[in-house]
Amino acid sequence: MTTASSAYNVSFGMATPSQPRAPFRLKNDAEHFWQRVSEGLEVNQLWSQFEKDARSSYRLYSAGLDERPHGQSGLNRAWHVAKALFWAILEKLTPARRILLLIALILLFMPVGGFTFGNKAGEVHVVEFDFRLWGGLTMLLVLLLELADRVVMKRDLEIAKDIQAWLLPGAPMQLPGYQIAYTTRPANTVAGDYYDVILRPASAFGGDRILFVVADVAGKSIPAAMLMATFQASLRTLSSSGIPLDELVVSLNRYACSNSVGGTRFTTAFLAELNPATGDLVYVNAGHNAPILRKASGAVERLDAGGIPLGILAEAKHETGSTKLNENDWLVVFTDGVVEAVNTRGEEYEEPRFIRLVDSAAGATPPELLRRLLADLDQFVGNTPQHDDVTCLLLKRST
């Protein structure tokens, strides 16, 4: 007697695996296909990603919509917005691809056509053409051409990202009596923000000095990243010469002016030189967001002495400020991408919320505070696309 189950055929007391049923194979294939397409993301994660991409794309294509005439309403206004969006999308393509896209759209909206003919036997034959199929294929061709460009550009950007990562410091410097943490989160693949921690020559000052730098080049992506690289190279070269901080800023500004395209590509920067033995801090703020010196008592000091951003005026004067970092004091340096991050309602993160976060984590370590900051930013912005680079450098003098 032979009995069968869904998993095995039983014959002569021996159990042998049966062949998987076709529906089972199809289910496995479908699951594998979905996992490969979705990269294992849940539906809510995919929707969140789509929403963020849609917001980012709309912001790109609708950049000129505010220029529409006022006073329009109803259908006229809707028609104007639709036309402006259409041209904004079309102008992003090359002329040849614009023509292909227009042909595809015409074919998609054409009705099914055809013709009839008969033969001597009286038979009538009907031949139909579905132009929508050809319209869809033409649109797919445009998509494939754009995708090829995107793949090439993405590969180049990934290389640029790796190069930029080499320019930034790796693991934080081990400084006895101090704890350091820093991070940057680009709005695009590469960033225009820059941070660094540099050990300066002891012979010029009678002791070790540590230079802390956070800078923000105007603009984003490749142009800003290229200027950031030149800023980093000039800073590293000048800081090794042993000149005082004020002279270093003068030289940096002159170099930035020679590469700023008439002042349009300026750089905001905060440079601070620390004497680790005493906690004395000398700094220059060149048009940057005023860093926060949070005292152990809870008092907050803003480090705003300095001048205009680098790269605007070659002969600009920058004032030098000084303060002191005592035990359990925090130095918090950040770029405007932190406090100007916006949520879905268009509200900014703002400095008061940032300061409250620092106050609540005053007993934590810099890496812990950095994790809390990024988590709080993510919770605040939700699915709103990041519009600017986010960079933060934290220094705490421990007991």
**Average of per-residue pLDDT across 105-131:** 72
Can you give the pLDDT at residue 356? 94
Where is average pLDDT lowest: 194-198, 205-209, 329-333, 382-386? Answer: 205-209
Q: At what angle do helices 245-257 and 221-239 cross, to 10 degrees?
A: 140
**Average of per-residue pLDDT across 329-342:** 94
Render pLDDT for 193-238 as a digit per residue (tens, 0 to 9): 999 999 987 655 567 889 999 999 887 778 888 888 888 889 998 9
| Contact (CB, 8 A) for 393 and 358 | no
Q: Given pLDDT bands bounded at 50, 70 and 90, which one contains residue 271?
A: very high
Q: Given pLDDT bands bounded at 50, 70 and 90, which one contains residue 387?
A: confident
Compare 261 and 70 and report the one with higher pLDDT. 261
> What is the rounded CA–CA span in Å between residue 187 and residue 387?
6
Render pLDDT for 337-365 as a digit per residue (tens, 0 to 9): 999 999 988 899 999 999 999 999 989 99
pLDDT above 70 covers a percentage of the chain that reads 82
CATH fold label, 172-397: Phosphatase 2c; domain 1 (3.60.40)
| Contact (CB, 8 A) for 360 and 191 | no
Compare 113 and 164 and report the one with higher pLDDT. 164
383 to 47, 229, 331, 341: CA distances (angstroms): 10, 31, 30, 12
- Mean pLDDT, the chain, rounded, equals 83
Please report, for the chain, the start and end positions of each structural domain, with discontinuous segments joined by +. 17-105, 113-163, 172-397
Q: What is the DSSP letter of 243?
A: -
